[in-house]
Chains A and B, each alone.
Chain A
Amino acid sequence: MDELINKRINEVLQGNQDAFEEIVLLFQHRLYHVCYRMLGSREEAQDIAQEAFVRAYSNLHTFDQKRKFSTWIFRIATNLCIDRIRKKKPDYSLDAQVPGTEGLDMYSQIAAADELPEDEVERMETQERVQYEIGRLPEKYRSVITLRYMEELPLQEIADILDLPLGTVKTRVHRGRDALRKQIGTM
């Protein structure tokens, strides 16, 4: 697999733009899926996943062929998703405590803001509900949970993609799971 990809990459670098299409076809579904889980909208997922491929093409000469291409392209895509999520949120520190509350930080505020009435949640079909719950996770948990459970990637690969220490990824997976447990606890 990696051998084939590197062969195509070298063809692209030599000026054969068409060789890039095969790379796109190999990764389009996985990249689109991750973007959809992170962003929660099909239009945005398509937009960002396509942008990720265009960026990969423009920076292909910087890709180290000794490494895994999937890690590299996932990194480009998740960075774009995280940027997009942050742009949508107002500019304040998420870790700051809300004044006059105990243990409540901005994460819980945002989650509360995104929350739908209970009966509406009850009426959701399964797929909708799964996406709704993932979308309520804070961004730093959402990215690891998506890569772990939607893409079923090993923890070390997630660490490489997000450029985080392995320990941090583990902690975020644990906390993400726990946050989800609390969210769906009433099911």
Chain B
Amino acid sequence: MTKCPIEVVQYMHEYLDGEIAPEYERELQDHLKTCGDCRQLFDELNGTVTFLNLAQPLEAPEGFAAGVMASLPKTGRRKKTGAKRWLRQHPMLSAAALFLVLMSAALFSSYNTNEQFSVTMQPNLVIEGDTVVVPAGEVVKGDLVVKNGDLRIEGEVDGNVTVIRGEKYMASTAVVTGNIEEIDELFDWLWYKIKTAFKGLKPEKTEPPIDE
């Protein structure tokens, strides 16, 4: 059989698969007329297919379907899996929701745990217990943040003033050049956190546009 073209066996299988091109089928038939070995191989392959076709289809035994129906999980379970299914079908939304939950947990916990009194230390500030005093006649240069304490301004602050969870008293002599902010509620706190986070990303000063 060494003299036979290699494709002949391939053609036999293509023939058996019903996928042979007409010109190859002619080639195959011509070859089989001249080659006894290939004819035998072809007959054997055909015989194999005939042999397989002897197999009779089997039917599932009685009670097969009833057996399936009896082993199905109970219908009540479907409702419970609804939420799970939703999560599985919306992975991006689920991830975003989880992110928000974790983020807000972190923010709330920092709101609750920062109970201690703190203040941005500036020279010439006076601290009386939980109250920070900007004495009259003094000028505080820079921003001032007071956490969990009160602030009394009698003098001048050259910058922004932020009071978190505290009271702010302004004397008639008080001067604040920047913004004054009081943060008490949870939402203010969240807003403040988000704002400061964004401020960190942006450049502090924006150059005025140059016109010619």
Contact = CB atoms under 8 A, between A and B. Distances in A.
Contacts of A58: 73
A180 B51 contact: yes
B78 A46 contact: no
B53 A149 contact: yes
Given A50-B71, A181-B48, A127 B55 contact: yes
Nearest to A151: B57
A32 B17 CA distance: 25
Nearest to B77: A58
A17 B55 contact: no
Given A49-B60, A145-B52, A178-B45, A25 B73 contact: no
B56 interface: yes
A54 interface: yes
Interface string B41-74: 0001101110111111111110011011101110
Nearest to B75: A17
A74 interface: no
Given A33-B57, A177-B45, A50 B52 contact: no
A177 B45 CA distance: 7
A185 B44 contact: yes
Contacts of B55: 37, 127, 130-131, 134, 149-150
Contacts of A180: 48, 51-52
Interface residues of B, number: 31
Nearest to A18: B69
B37 to A, nearest CB: 14
B59 to A, nearest CB: 5
Contacts of A36: 58
B16 interface: yes
Given A32-B59, A46-B61, A150-B57, A177 B72 contact: no
A170 interface: yes
Nearest to B67: A50
B85 interface: yes
B13 interface: yes
A32 B60 contact: yes
Given A32-B64, A49-B60, A181-B44, A174 B52 contact: no
Contacts of A84: none
Q: Which 4 A-B pairs have the closest CB atoms?
A: A32-B60, A149-B52, A28-B60, A174-B13
Given A18-B69, A21-B69, A149-B49, 4 more contacts: A29-B58, A149-B55, A178-B45, A181-B47
